Amino acid sequence: MTDEKINREQLDWDSEDFIQLVNKTAICLTDYVTKANKGQVSVADLRPMQENQLDLKADELITTGALADSGLGSFLNTYLAHSTQLHHPNYMAHQTASPAIPSSLAELIHGSINNPGAIYEMGSTAASLEHVVLNWMLKKLAWKPEPLKQSDGDHGAGALMNGGSLANLVALLAARSHIAPDAWEQGNPNDLKLLAPANTHYSIERSLSIMGLGSLALVPVEVDEHERMIPSALNETIEKTQASGFRVMAVVANACATGSGLFDPLDEIAHVCEQHQVWLHVDACHGSSFLLSNKLKHLLKGAERADSFVWDAHKMMRVSGLCSAVLVKDAAHLQNAFKQQASYLFYGSPSMGKDYLHRTVECTKTALGTKLFLTLAWKGEKAIAEYIENRVLMTRKAYSIISSRDHFYCPYVPESNILCFRYKDDDELQVEIRETLLKAGTYHLTSTALNGKRYLRITVMTSVTTEETIEKLVTEIERQW
Ligand SMILES: Cc1ncc(COP(=O)(O)O)c(C=O)c1O
C-alpha cells in the first residue's frame, strides 16, 4: 500500500470522491434547472408515494448501500424527475423561492462543515454572519442595530430560525413576556387575548394553542371586502375586549396576507396600537423583503412602529427554505421570551461573540445567516430588489391580461406577487381547474377562499414566468372549460 492509499483509507472524508460526486450532482442539478427554466419538462409529475419509493429503490438501497459506488446519478435523475419544479415558468403555486446559486452553495457548505450558528463556539463564522444579516434587516426597518458588545442600551435584536411559523411563535412569546412577565414560570394568566384579522396565517392560532392560551384567545378584527384589517374596527375591538375584562397581549397585522397578497394598513394600525399601548406584531413573512425596494417599501409604512416583525428570506429573496428572522425593536423583549437552564451549554463565562441559542426554540440550527448572506452578497442587495420589483410588476401584468378576458374576474389590483382570480361563477370549478392542470403537469397553481368565495391563486416566483406564460394559461383554461 502506498502512503497516499493508507492516508485516504484512514480519513473520514475521501476528497477525490467528494469532488467527483459534487461534480456529478452539479451536472444533474444543472440539467434539472435548465430544463425547468426552459419549460422543457412537466411542471409537476406527481405520482403515488409507493411508486416513488419503489422507483427510488429506497428500501433496497438502505440495505445494500449501493448508492456510494455507482448509484448516485440514476438515483438523482429519478429523484429530480418527480420533484416539484420551482424553476419552471408554469410554477406559480406556493410562496417558496426558486433558489439562486449562492443559496445552493451555502447548503453544500453547511452540509459539509455542520457548524450550527446557535452557539458561537460551534459556528463562529456562521454566528458572525447571522449578526450581520440581522442588523441589516433591523436597519431596513429603521430599528437600531444590535451592537457587538452586550449592551443594555436602546436597540433592536433578532434571531434566525427555521420558518416563519416558528418566528411567529417566538414573537408572541416575547409579547407575552412583556404583558405577563411571570407566565414562563407561573403559566398563563386567564385574561389574555390576541387580536388579528381572521385570515391571519394559521401559525398564529397554532402558536396560541402551543403556548397554552388556546386558539379561542384569538379575537377576529373586522376586515374590508378584500380581507384587510379595518383600523377603526381594531380600535373598537380593543375597547370592547378591555371593557370585558381582558388584556390585549398583541395585535397581529398581515404584511401581506397569505391568500390575497394584500397588505393591512400598518401605519393606521400602529397608530391605534400606540394609543392603547398594545403590542403590535407584523407578520411580514412574505412582504418583508419589499423593504429592499424604493418602489415597494411604502406598502410596509408603519411597520417601524411595531414591536415585533417576522421576515422569511426563503420566500422572496431566492433563498432556499428555511431562513426566517424574528426581529424586535427593543432587544430586552427577545431576551425575555425564553428562560432556560442547561449547565452543559451556559457557563456564565464571556463568549467572543453572540450566542443565539437563548432566542430560539431550536438548540442546534443550520447556518441560516450564511445562506442569506451569500445570496445578498453575490450581486448585492440591489439585484434582489430588482428581482422582487420585477416579479411584482409581472403580477400586475398578469392582472391586466386575466381581467381583460371574458368570464375571468380579478377581485383586486395586486400589491405583491400574489394574485387571485376566478373563472366563471362556480366555486367547485376553481378547484377542478387547479387539480386538472396539476394532474396533467401543465400548470402548478393554488386555490384559496376570499370572503367566502373560492378563487384560483398564482404566486409569481420564478424569473422565467412571463406575459406569454399567463396568456397561455388563460387560453388553456378557456379551451378546456
Ligand atoms: C403571512 C405568513 N405568515 C407565516 C407563514 C409561515 O411561514 P413558514 O412557511 O416559513 O413557516 C406564511 C407562509 O406562507 C405566511 O404567508
The per-residue pLDDT for 345 is: 62
Q: What is the pLDDT of residues 131-162, one digit of tens each?
A: 999 999 999 999 999 998 877 779 999 999 99
The per-residue pLDDT for 150 is: 75
**Residue 343: is its pLDDT beyond 80?**
no
Residue type, 189: P
* 314 Cα nearest atom in ligand 1: 10
- Mean pLDDT over 244-264 rounds to 98
The per-residue pLDDT for 10 is: 73
Containing structural domain, residue 60: 3-37+47-81
**Residue 2: is its pLDDT beyond 60?**
no
Q: What is the pLDDT of residues 444-472, one digit of tens each?
A: 999 999 999 999 999 999 999 999 999 99
- Report the mean per-residue pLDDT for the chain: 94
**Residue 1: is its pLDDT beyond 60?**
no
Q: Which residue, of 364, 379, 394, is where some domain finishes?
A: 379
CA distances from 65 to 55, 59, 62 (A): 16, 10, 6
Q: What is the pLDDT of residues 370-380, one digit of tens each?
A: 999 999 999 99
Q: Which residue, of 316, 344, 379, is where some domain finishes?
A: 379
For residue 465, being part of any structural domain is answered with: yes
CA 204 to centroid of ligand 1, rounded, Å: 10
SS3 state of residue 145: coil
Q: What is the largest CA-CA distance in the chain?
A: 84
- Mean pLDDT over 55-74 rounds to 89
Percentage of the chain beyond pLDDT 90 is 86
The per-residue pLDDT for 305 is: 98
Cell of 255: 404584511
Cell of 177: 413576556
Q: For a ligand 1 pocket test, name from 166, 201, 252 the mutation site with the most ligand atoms within 8 angstroms of its C-beta.
A: 201
DSSP E strands in 76-200: the ranges are 157-161, 192-197
Q: What is the CATH number of the domain that holds 214?
A: 3.40.640.10
Q: What is the pLDDT of residues 227-236, one digit of tens each?
A: 999 999 999 9
Write the DSSP assignment of 235-271 as a string of letters: HHHHHHHHHTT-EEEEEEEESS-TTT-PPP-HHHHHH
Is residue 308 domain-shared with residue 423, that is, in the same domain? no
Q: What is the pLDDT of residues 344-368, one digit of tens each?
A: 666 666 678 888 888 999 989 999 9
Is residue 371 domain-shared with residue 411, that is, in the same domain? no
Is residue 127 domain-shared with residue 240, that is, in the same domain? yes
Domain count for the chain, please give it.
3
Q: What is the pLDDT of residues 166-193, one digit of tens each?
A: 999 999 999 999 999 999 999 999 999 9
Query: 202 CB contacts (<8 Å, ≥6 apart)?
Result: none
The per-residue pLDDT for 5 is: 59
The per-residue pLDDT for 450 is: 95
Please count the CA atoms within 13 angstroms of the CA of 242 that sit on its side-chain side.
12
Q: Which residue, of 379, 397, 424, is where some domain finishes?
A: 379
* 258 Cα nearest atom in ligand 1: 16
For residue 102, being part of any structural domain is answered with: no
CA 201 to centroid of ligand 1, rounded, Å: 7
